[in-house]
Structure 1
């Protein structure tokens, strides 16, 4: 036997002698291996593919192209007051004219293809990859589908609804394939641009051309067409009239993208493209029937309804939801009280707008007013003032959040201090009677005694010396609350601000925020103070009571939420804020108003950097109202000063929060409040608490430990059993010119003496960015 044969014989014997593998082993025919062989997996895969193909064929055969639903766009919405009377009907008289594609310039047609679907003229009407991604997103709950072709978007607009369901997306896929076979590309493109929603209540390119450029579709330029095409991605965000700086940047980039694609596709000469300038749209115009305050109320209701449609999954984003609302068929009942709405409008007119004369003073044409009134127990928005007229000033001043709330933010700092049981640098609890150094431009220090690079001036650079938190709130002393914010921790302050209802998600937790340098709206501030009034239980102002559609109703969320800060913290702030009215920056306009009739009131004034905004947000136990005045250039819409408005202001002509805003608030509130009431407070701090006969000030000043107040902190309001009268306060001290020689005089607690703002001024101020110029504002 040769060597090769011996070797093969040994191999055969070795194989025969090899131990038998267990039938349950992982690598044998048993166990998992019996079920998952490569052949079986391959067979299962092809079976699934076959079933999917058969299923799709079945869907293609079963699903036909339905009749268009464009008629739904012709329906109007009905809006009602809380008593059921009609507020408005919208959608009537709106330009929804369908235009032939031949009436739209060829280059303008191409802007939409360049923006949405460069392969439009060559594809089969469906983006399978994008559709698959949309189906996966729907199944996983991730929201909006991406990658749809123009054909698919037209099918969704004209033949289907915006429901985010698997069945709707499959229908969209099948119908798009059939429509692409049955219709020409020009017919599909015409349908798309005629049924798309462009914002401003405009459906279709003709309505959009009128809404944004005041021209018919056949007069649109390539630049204008590119803007309208870019707008479709996010109409509410990209509308130039209301867009933020970030949104303006994004829509400019989108506009560039559209035109650059046209150059790439040889539809536009590069030299011509380079010479093009961005076509800024015209200012919006209100639709017929929405004059006065009506348009503001309808707009606010539409936006609130749209947010709820997104929240419940009926729409993927705000733009889609607003399109659903604007299509019509809704009956929307508002929480707005017709009588209180009229009272608020008349209060603004009597107190402010009737005194403005733009022909005599240019600044009078720059004054914008906004106000919101809320029931703190239910969260209902009872009245709203959005501006002089919706068709004259499109931006709703009641909901705009681009102006600083200034010193109306100070109560949030105190709420955080009490809620967090914060202490001063010396370890003393922060209470209404805690003493701080109130000198202007005193450097703020951290827990290690190191300066943080922030030293805010007080209004008119006044030095108050040692001053209690109560007195600092009354006088709106910036230096005190800047230090208090750092003592509490700015992260905690901003956290409490968010809990109370402020939008601080993108705000930095820096000391400058203590002066209210973020943006806020009267609606937002009304919610914050309503939560304080509601003893710390969250109030989210609600303007919509109910919304019914022909296809069903929308359940609106409860406006009253959970306890977000303790009752003690909320009630302490309320107690302290009664002092602002009775002994502080709001005493002239609110405390001494003859209509008050002993009504207990809490509130806070605010005047921003350079006097670009002025605020008063105040409340009784049953009514919270925030009033804001904003300086807005009547032509450029840039923020400008209010200083000198009406020409009758004392001192430097500053429009302070204790002036017109507080006067509007008082005339409205005391006329609408009903029976006189008092706060039910669970706290032993603040001006609303009857003073004891012992001294309340024991702590040493944070920055000047060697100095202590020479007398006790006064009570800023009468005991609960008493009614405020003129006899319970002292007269205002004479104007001494520049104030800053030391701390103000303080009377014994039993006297309930009044402390007045310095030098004839009514209010403290906030800063835009924490750094000041000129006179320190």
Structure 2
């Protein structure tokens, strides 16, 4: 055999001689083929899982979004546009159109330069974040603006792999479903900026005190820089290192804007860091503010706003409250009431509550309101509460109903301010089915008096009979048309004394309708309600249709001038520099006292209420109690504290604007000058008796008495029979002869079986 064959034979024998080696167990398990196959298998499973997740997970609807991301605050403003209060989450969503374009670019430059061109996901950064999450290294960055918006709006803030995978899928789908502007707007509105501010509008106010449209490039760059670490980068609280870092990030943001051609180099050179303002506490609900906010909410709900939509926030509510008039009202209450009280000395002073509402009769706007000592101290709004009797402030509504319905007395005589009634104390009402004979104040006898004098003196017996003459159902109908709550009016004879419940705001509305010549005024606290996204809510006009003829309304106004000039309110309101009319009222057991009055430009109702301040074992807290003894005096009358508060406030609120006069279309009532006396060259006409009206109506007689032509009489005096003109004559202090304003004591109802309350 050749040498070649020999060599092959030697090698073969050598191989046969070499012992056979076994493969290790590890090498058998992890061959390169198995590793490669496993890798591809995992990739396939991962891809299949991701595809399944992509198909399964969809972009949630707005209703399914994170409640925290959707929650907004509601902003309440005064009539002049200044902020009164913020309620709820400090966020006000705004459309992107309100954000200056350069400010939009500042946020993109700071957070995601490729935002306008990417697919919504930074895959490399996201995978890095997942890896670090798995290694327990906590929160990691790397998200696009789209991913941050998805996390804020749709998902929780937890750092888990499953949540991160959801974020990727929803971000991809959101980028396909939504426009870039929609995503950017959502991002700006859902981000947290520190100082309790959610969203860019709240942040603009919190850091620079401006609305978002007023932000500059420099300010926008700072707000964009804040998002990385709001608590560390807040200039007011940041350390020196924090301030340095935020200024570096501010500069980085502007430089990126130059790089992206969103800011010229020249404009970049002009930018200087704008130090934000110091933090300010959000306007709260203390004092009168809480009353305003709650009342505005209730009013909007009553006008049809969806409660859930309102509570979700985002509303800017402008009220008609004028800051100067509100200040005047609060000062008047302090000067004319609270400065006179000593709660430590007198328990009754602790029980005294006051509510007031002031309305512009031409617009229906509530321009001032006093709800009580403060929302956080006394939760019930005294201006809106309707659990106390308005008492004799209801009497003008009876006269209005009489004139509007062309009612006649029991003797078939038309009812006017000059009609003569029998004013005897406890005179039984004629014509009714329920016996009723109310006492006059202090059991006073009046005899035959005109309606005008009866209004001046608040004579109960006259208006009890007038209510029956008109028809109690008609009286109720008129009261409801003027804005009173019909469910609180029980159609019984005692209603003529104001025994129903009513609030100062309701009474202000009723009298504002009189002031507005019979066109319905529904007092409105809210002037405008706007939502950041949905726009402005349509609100009903506070001025409605005519509910009284002008002659009726103007005649009642004219009659009420007698109450101020010669009647129960003259002590507080007479001889003012402005024209004013009104009516007092004091209820059963002196539990409430009222004055509702108006000028040609302002209507204000003031109610004072006795409310037990502390439970004492016998009377529960909050129960109605007497006001008698308040301020160290005796009975609290409508012509006392309420009329004084009214007069003080009205003088301040009107200021120098006091020249207006009532434009009345009537020839009846105390507000109309008497006709001129005949001249010597003209034979005098026969002087009509007081029983005749100026329009020449038939002889008017006391209701329910034999026909006669009486001589009107006023309150009796100690020296002899009473005599007076139809408007009455009263002591210099404006009260009645015993210093009261027409409030009878709560004495037994001897003339009838129905209990009597609301007696003046």
**TM-score of the pair, normalised by structure 1:** 0.58
Q: Aligned ranges for residues 180-329 of structure 1 at < 5 Å?
A: 289-310=284-305, 315=306, 321=307, 323-329=308-314
Aligned to 1:89: 86
Contact 2:85/2:284 (<8 A) preserved: yes
Aligned to 2:199: none
The structure-2 alpha-carbon separation of the partners of 1:750 and 1:303, relative to structure 1 and needing over 3 Å to count, comes to closer
1: CA distance, partners of 2:476 / 2:330: 33
2: CA distance, partners of 1:624 / 1:750: 25
Aligned to 2:347: 362
Question: Are 1:401 and 2:386 an aligned pair?
Answer: yes
SS in structure 1 at match of 2:85: strand
Contact 1:373/1:623 (<8 A) preserved: yes
Aligned to 1:518: 500
SS in structure 2 at match of 1:603: strand
Aligned to 2:691: 697
Aligned to 1:657: 638
Question: Are 1:488 and 2:482 an aligned pair?
Answer: no
The structure-2 alpha-carbon separation of the partners of 1:766 and 1:61, relative to structure 1 and needing over 3 Å to count, comes to farther
1:98-117 deviation line (CA, Å, top 9, x unaligned):
xxxxxxxxxxxxxxxxxxxx
Aligned to 1:76: 73
Structure 2: runs of 5 or more not aligned: 1-55, 92-152, 155-281, 615-620, 678-686, 693-699
2: CA distance, partners of 1:756 / 1:461: 16
1: CA distance, partners of 2:728 / 2:757: 41
The structure-2 alpha-carbon separation of the partners of 1:479 and 1:548, relative to structure 1 and needing over 3 Å to count, comes to same
The structure-2 alpha-carbon separation of the partners of 1:752 and 1:513, relative to structure 1 and needing over 3 Å to count, comes to closer
2: CA distance, partners of 1:547 / 1:72: 22
Aligned to 2:479: 497
2: CA distance, partners of 1:764 / 1:752: 15
Q: Aligned ranges for residues 415-454 of structure 1 at < 5 Å?
A: 415-446=400-431, 452-454=434-436
1:392-412 deviation line (CA, Å, top 9, x unaligned):
000100011111110000000
1:262-317 deviation line (CA, Å, top 9, x unaligned):
xxxxxxxxxxxxxxxxxxxxxxxxx981111111111111111122235xxxx3xx
Question: Are 1:589 and 2:590 an aligned pair?
Answer: no
Q: Aligned ranges for residues 612-761 of structure 1 at < 5 Å?
A: 612-635=591-614, 636-647=621-632, 649=633, 653-673=634-654, 674-692=657-675, 694-695=687-688, 696-698=690-692, 699-705=700-706, 708-710=709-711, 744-747=722-725, 757-761=736-740
Contact 1:420/1:488 (<8 A) preserved: yes
1:728-764 deviation line (CA, Å, top 9, x unaligned):
xxxxx9996xxxx997421498999988624221134
1:600-644 deviation line (CA, Å, top 9, x unaligned):
211000100111110000000110000000111113100111110
1:533-570 deviation line (CA, Å, top 9, x unaligned):
00000000011111111232211110000001110110
Contact 2:460/2:759 (<8 A) preserved: no
Question: Are 1:531 and 2:513 an aligned pair?
Answer: yes
Aligned to 2:331: 346
Pair member with larger Rg: 2
Instruction: Work out the number of aligned pairs and report it.
Output: 484
Contact 2:568/2:735 (<8 A) preserved: yes
**TM-score of the pair, normalised by structure 2:** 0.60
Contact 1:406/1:765 (<8 A) preserved: no
2: CA distance, partners of 1:546 / 1:81: 11
Selected match of 2:459 from 467, 472, 477: 477
Question: Are 1:602 and 2:581 an aligned pair?
Answer: yes
2: CA distance, partners of 1:532 / 1:442: 30
> Shift of residue 689 of structure 1?
1.1
> Shift of residue 328 of structure 1?
2.1
SS in structure 2 at match of 1:309: coil
Contact 1:632/1:639 (<8 A) preserved: yes
Structure 1: runs of 5 or more not aligned: 1-59, 95-157, 160-286, 316-320, 714-732
The structure-2 alpha-carbon separation of the partners of 1:63 and 1:328, relative to structure 1 and needing over 3 Å to count, comes to closer
Q: 452-461 vs 670-679, which deviates more? A: 670-679
Contact 2:456/2:728 (<8 A) preserved: no
Contact 2:712/2:724 (<8 A) preserved: yes
> Shift of residue 63 of structure 1?
9.8
Question: Are 1:410 and 2:407 an aligned pair?
Answer: no
SS in structure 1 at match of 2:701: coil
Q: 665-674 vs 530-539, which deviates more? A: 665-674
